[in-house]
Structures are given as C-alpha cells and as structure tokens.
C-alpha cells in the first residue's frame, strides 16, 4: 500500500491506521451503495486517498473551517478530517451529501475512526451558508456550476479547491464568461493530466450579451 507521505503529508501510525480502516469500510460498503466506481477500488489508496491528501497539502495551517460539497464516499472531505485530527486539531470539517445511504457511511467512518466531523444530509442549495475558509468538491459538476454552488458557502477571502481532469482548461474558459476569479493550478501527483484548481477573489459578473 502507498502512503499519504507520498504527497508530503507526514502523519503518525495512528493516522495511517484510521485511513486504512476507512479503506476497509469503503471496500465493505461499496458493493451495496456504490460510493466510488467499482473499477477504482483496486487502486483506491492512490485514486481516492492520496488524491484527497494532496488537496489538504495546499491549505494554510491556520485554516479553521472546511466544507466539502457532494462528498459521496468522503473524498476529499473525510480524508481531510482524518488528516486534520492530527495536523490541524482545530479544523472544523463539514460534508454535504444528499444521499442518505452515503451519509450513513460517512457517519460510520467518522464514528469508527474517532473523527469529529459534521455531515449534512441535504442538497447543497438547502444548507444555510457555512462561511468556510475552504470549500472543496471532487467529481461533482463542471466549473461554472461549482462556482455557483460554492460561493454560497465560502467566506469573503476564502478559497475553493477543485480537482479537475484533462478538460480543466475548457471548464475555466467557460466559467470566465460569467465569473471573475484568481486562479492557480497545481498538477496532480496522481495523474499528470489532472490538476487541482485553487480559486479565490470570486465575483459573479453575468454573461456578456455582446
């Protein structure tokens, strides 16, 4: 098994044990509720856990609140919460997921790994604004819609972190038709064709009628 240390996150054996127990639960629950694509389970440590850990690595140590939208099986939100327990104990992690069965899974992982995280079993639009320092979302929607969903929950001066695949440039181009934002892209350590978009200074400007 690879280690989250592969992406420069140095953690204790206890934290690795929590992540490994999470992987056991993922394998146990996935056949019943399809938390992640079944063909990714054999590479789940790299495809989901390391891929999520690298997002945590982009965030300042003094970050106090993180919201993960459309969490699904917990990536990156639950990985962030597990890493945060050791590396940023004051970090408050919230996960928003509309599927009741996936929420049951997330709460089971949190309970069995001893993680304090909030799980909202609601649609993203139905959750009161969460005013978070960081908002993340993985494999949820195209960038224009992600910006619409996320700006409701990120505080002024906060950042958005979105893993994206090889079509990320076209998504950015489309998003800039209706939004202005500062952008930094970080090449993924798990896929050279993928990036993590780090977005801030977000303003909605509407479509250009010309």
CATH number of the domain that residue 192 is part of = 3.40.50.150
Please state the pTM of the whole predicted model: 0.93
pLDDT of residue 206: 62
The rounded mean pLDDT for the chain is 92
36 is a domain residue: yes
DSSP assignment, residue 4? G
- Mean pLDDT over 7-33 rounds to 91
In a domain, 25, yes or no: yes
Domain count along the chain: 1
Within-domain flag for 135? yes
List beta partners, residue 96.
69, 120
| Most confident residue range from 44-48, 55-59, 127-131 | 127-131
**210 is a domain residue:** no
In this prediction, residues 24-51 reach a mean pLDDT of 90
Separation CA 14–CA 34 (nearest Å)? 28
Asked, for residue 59, whether it belongs to a domain, the answer is yes
Q: What is the pLDDT at residue 1?
A: 58
3-class DSSP state for residue 174?
helix
- Assess if residue 123 is contained within a domain: yes
Q: What is the pLDDT of residue 209?
A: 40
Q: How far is CA 201 from the centre of its chain?
A: 19
Q: For residue 9, what pLDDT band results from cuts at 50, 70 and 90?
A: confident
Residue 175: which domain range? 4-204
Question: According to DSSP H, which parts of 114-140 are helical?
Answer: none
Model confidence at 169: pLDDT above 60: yes
- Residue 12: inside a domain, yes or no? yes
pLDDT of residue 10: 85
Distance CA 105, CA 77 (A): 13
- The answer as to whether 80 is a domain residue is yes
Reply yes or no on whether the pLDDT at 208 is more than 80. Answer: no
């Amino acid at each position: 098994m690879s280690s989250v240390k592969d992406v420069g996150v140095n953690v204790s054996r206890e934290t690795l044990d929590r992540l490994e127990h999470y992987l056991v639960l993922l394998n146990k629950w996935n056949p019943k509720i399809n938390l992640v694509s079944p063909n990714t389970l054999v590479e789940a440590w790299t495809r989901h856990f390391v891929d999520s850990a690298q997002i945590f690595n982009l965030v300042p140590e003094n970050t106090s609140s993180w919201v993960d939208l459309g969490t699904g099986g917990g990536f990156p939100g639950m990985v962030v919460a597990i890493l945060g327990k050791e590396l940023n104990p004051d970090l408050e992690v919230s996960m928003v997921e509309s599927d009741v069965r996936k929420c049951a899974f997330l709460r089971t992982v949190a309970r069995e790994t001893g993680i304090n995280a909030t799980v909202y079993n609601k649609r993203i639009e139905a959750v009161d604004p969460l005013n978070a320092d960081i908002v993340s979302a993985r494999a949820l929607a195209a960038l224009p819609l992600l910006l619409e969903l996320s700006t409701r929950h990120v505080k002024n001066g906060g950042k958005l972190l979105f893993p994206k695949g090889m079509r990320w440039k076209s998504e950015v181009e489309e998003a800039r038709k209706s939004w202005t934002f500062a952008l930094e892209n970080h090449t993924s350590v798990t896929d050279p064709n993928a990036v993590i978009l780090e977005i801030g200074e977000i303003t909605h400007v509407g479509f250009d009628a010309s």
